Amino acid sequence: MGVRSIVADPSGYWNGLTRAEQGVSGFIVAFVVLLLFGLLTGGLAPTYFLFLVGLAGMYALMSLGLNVQWGYTGLINFSVAAFFGIGAYGTALASSSSSPIAGDLAPVVGLLVALVLAAVLALLIGIPTLRLRADYLAIASIGLAEVVRIIILNEDQWTNGSAGLRGIPTFFDGWPVLSTFPQTMPGIAISWLPGETIVLRQSFWQATLNVTLVLAFIGVSYFVLKRAHRSPWGRLLRTIRGDEDLARALGKNTYRYKMQAFVLGSLIMALAGVFYAHLNLYVGPGDLNPITTFYVWVAVILGGSGSNRGALFGGFVIVAIQQGTRFLNDFGWIPFDVAPLRLLVIGVIIVLIMRFRPEGVLPPQRELIWPSVVDEAPKQPDTGVRDAKAGESE
C-alpha cells in the first residue's frame, strides 16, 4: 500500500496491519512523541538528537548486513565488528590527513577503497569456510574478528596503531555546495517555550548532512535487499537456510550462493563503518570492540531473522537502550547507577523474545508477498476447482 493510499484510508491501513505491526507502530509513535517532548523542553539538544539518529542508522545498516547472511542464508558470522572496522579504516586510510599510507584523497575514493577491502576480506574468509558446516564459519569468523583488531592495533606503520587515525574529513568534503553548506547556513534561534531558546548553529547543519548520508545508505541497501529477498535468488537463499541438501539435490551450486550472500552482507557492514568514520572523524582499534557484534546480533534476533523491517527496528531499539540508559542516571530518585545495567536489560529482552516470540517482533512473512498480489487477489475464487474441471466456467 502506497503513501497516497494510507493517507486516503488510514483506518483501512491500520486494520490491515498485524497485531505485531500495530504494536511496533504504536511504540514508534510513542518514542517519537517522547523525543519531541525532550526537544521542546530543552532536555535533548537538536544536534545530539541528529547524532543519535545517525548512530541508529549505523546499527540498522549493520543489522541489514547480518540479516542477509544469517536471516536469509543461515550463515553464522561473528565478525560483524571486523567488517565494520574494515570499512571505517578503509575510508580513513584513504582520506585522513594522518594516514601513514595514502591520505587526503576524496571521501568517495575512501568509500570505494573500503568496499573493495571488505569484499576481498569476505572472499578470503569465505573460500575456505563456506564449504564447511555453519559452525565452522562461526569459529573462523570469531578468529577473524580478533585477527583484524590485533593487526590494526599492532601494525603502526599501516594503521597508526593505538593512536588511531585523526583528521578524517566529512563525507561531503570537496562536493559542490554541500561541502560549505554548514558554514553558509545562518544560525537560527527558535523559542519553543518562554525562556527556552535553541540556536541551530553549524554543528546542527553538519549533523543534518550526516543523517542525510546514512538515510541514503539505508535507503539504497533496503531497496536492493527488498528486491533480492522476493527474487528467485532470495528464495534459493531461504532454501539453503532451511535445507541445504535439498538445494543441492535441485542442482543448485549452494557454495556460490552462500558466497554471494556473505560478500553482500559484508559490504553493507563496511558501509556502516564508512559512515561512522566520517561521522566521528576519528577511528581507533577500540571501535572494533566485539560488543558491537553482540549488539547487532541482538538487533537481528529482536527484529526477526530474515526480516529487513525487523533489522531496521532492532537497530533503532539497540541504540535507544544504549543511549537511553545514560539519561536514567539524571533521575535522582533511582538509588543506583543504571547505565552499566544496559547489557542486563538487553539480556532480559532476548530471554523474553526467545520465550514468547522466538520468530522476532516483525517476522519476514509479510515482506515476501508483493503488495500488488494481495491487492489484486479476489476474496474468493470465481469458480471452484470441481467446476473448472467440469468445464462449467467456460
Tell me the per-residue pLDDT of 34-92, one tens digit each, with 9 for 90 and over. 888 877 777 778 888 899 899 999 999 999 999 999 999 999 989 999 999 999 999 99
Q: Stretch 180-185: mean pLDDT, rounded?
A: 85
Give the chain's mean pLDDT. Answer: 84
pLDDT of amino acid 184 = 85
Q: What's the confidence (pLDDT) of residue 371?
A: 60
Is pLDDT at 7 greater than 80 in this prediction? Answer: no
Residue 269 has pLDDT above 60, yes or no: yes
Question: Highest mean pLDDT range out of 103-107, 289-293, 340-344?
Answer: 289-293
pLDDT band at 386 (very low <50, low <70, confident <90, very high): low
- At 121-167, the pLDDT tens digits run 999 988 888 887 767 888 888 888 899 999 999 988 888 888 889 98
Q: What is the pLDDT of residue 70?
A: 92
Confidence at residue 115, expressed as pLDDT on a 0 to 100 scale: 96
pLDDT of 114 strictly over 50: yes
Sequence-separated contacts (24+) of 191-200 with Cβ below 8 Å: 192/39, 192/40, 192/41, 192/42, 193/40, 193/41, 193/42, 196/41, 196/42, 198/42, 198/45, 198/46, 200/46
Q: Grade residue 348 by pLDDT with cuts at 50, 70 and 90.
A: confident
Question: According to the per-residue pLDDT averaged within each range, which of 15-24, 46-55, 184-193, 346-355 is highest?
Answer: 46-55
Per-residue pLDDT averaged across 316-343, rounded?
Answer: 75
* 380 vs 362 pLDDT, higher one: 362
Identify the pLDDT of residue 324.
76
Kindly tell me if the per-residue pLDDT of 394 is higher than 50: no
pLDDT of res. 393: 45
pLDDT at residue 150, as a whole number: 92
pLDDT recorded at residue 101: 85
List, for residues 188-242, the tens digit of each pLDDT value: 777 766 656 777 888 888 999 999 999 999 999 999 998 888 889 999 999 998 8
Query: How confident is the model at residue 376, as a pLDDT?
Result: 57
Average pLDDT over residues 359-365: 81
Higher pLDDT, 342 or 287: 287
Alpha carbon 100 to its chain's center: 30
pLDDT for residue 113 is more than 90: yes
